[in-house]
Amino acid sequence: MGSQVLVPFRGCEDSHRHLKLMGDLGQIVPMNYNPRDVNSIKTAVAKSNVVINLIGREYETRNYGFEEVNHQMAEQLAMISKEHGGIVRFIQVSALGASASSPSKLLRAKAAGEESVLKEFPEATIMRPATLIGTEDRILNRWAMYAKNWGFLPLFGGGSTKFQPVYVVDVAAAIVNSLKDDGTSMGKTYELGGPDIYTVHDLAEMMFETIREYPRYVNLPFPIAKVCI
């Protein structure tokens, strides 16, 4: 698209080094920022005309909870982007299944984030990707690690849970395509799932057949799994 991409990050300098190789010289610009500092966020978006919010957390830590990361930070970023005056597109990357009535604390926070973003920036586009798979994902790579290092894979509920994983490159393409359109995607919500629905067990079998690792499965009933987590 001929654009310069500013990549705000927190943490160590090594975490973003590989991204700089994905564009021409000077096209990918990492910027250290503090998501809790308003001035830091304003500096990050100061020279931008498009904001893609990828801030999110799929597990809570002592310092960052679901509500702050998935809701409050999204709301603040949308507010700052609106005040900016020059932001023409805002993409909020949420999660498939986000709903205020969801039994999942994560998905309730994602839904609250969507609502707040649209309140501050009504023309924002909401993307709801399903479980992402691809290079360095946190699903298949983790399973492979279990198989190679310990020879087993724990399956919650026997691996009967169904999901519809989507390739991360396809999600990125959907975001780029929405930015290239004539504005028809503004103010709309898109649910992004892969072409097939799998049980966890079926997808694990497919992956292990591909990498030629054949671990044994350890079934963890859901009540026990919740205690372990």
Average pLDDT, the chain: 91
Q: Nearest Cα to 109, choosing from 64, 167, 171, 62?
A: 64
Q: Could you tell me the pLDDT band of residue 186, with boundaries at 50, 70 and 90?
A: very high
Tens of pLDDT, residues 28-76:
989 999 999 999 999 999 999 999 999 998 889 999 999 999 999 999 9
Q: Nearest Cα to 118, choosing from 80, 81, 177, 78?
A: 78
Instruction: Name which residue leads in pLDDT, 8 or 227.
Output: 8
Would you state the pLDDT for residue 229?
52
Q: Could you tell me whether strands 162-163 and 198-199 are parallel, antiparallel, or unpaired per DSSP bridges?
A: antiparallel
DSSP 70: I
Query: What are the two backbone dihedrals, phi and then psi, of residue 116, each rounded to the nearest 5 degrees?
Result: -70, -40
Domain 131-165+194-229 in this protein, CATH class: alpha beta
Copy the structure tokens of residue 16: 């973003």
Indicate whether 173 pLDDT > 60: yes
Would you state the pLDDT for residue 18?
83
Indicate whether 225 pLDDT > 80: no
Nearest 10 degrees: Cα torsion 124, 130, 131, 132: -60
For the chain, domain boundaries = 131-165+194-229
CA distance linking residue 65 with residue 57, whole number of Å: 8
SS3 32: strand
Cβ burial of 192 (10 Å; 0-12, 13-18, 19+) is buried
Q: Taking the CB of residue 190, how many other CB atoms lie within 10 A of it?
A: 15
Would you state the pLDDT for residue 21?
83
Q: What average pLDDT does the segment 117-146 reach?
A: 94
Tens of pLDDT, residues 133-158:
998 898 999 999 988 899 989 888 88
Q: What average pLDDT does the segment 107-123 reach?
A: 97
Copy the structure tokens of residue 8: 């705000």
Residues near 134 by Cβ (< 8 Å), separated by ≥ 6? 167, 168, 169
Instruction: Please tell me the chain's helix, strand, coil percentages from 3-state DSSP, rounded to the nearest 5.
Output: 45, 20, 35
Largest CA-CA distance found in the chain, in angstroms, rounded? 56
Residues in the chain: 229
Q: What average pLDDT does the segment 192-215 reach?
A: 93
Q: What average pLDDT does the segment 121-142 reach?
A: 94
Q: What average pLDDT does the segment 8-30 reach?
A: 84
Q: Could you tell me the pLDDT band of residue 120, with boundaries at 50, 70 and 90?
A: very high
Tens of pLDDT, residues 88-98:
999 999 999 99
Angle subtended at Cα 112 by Cα 108 and Cα 113, rounded to the nearest 5 degrees: 115
Q: What average pLDDT does the segment 102-106 reach?
A: 95
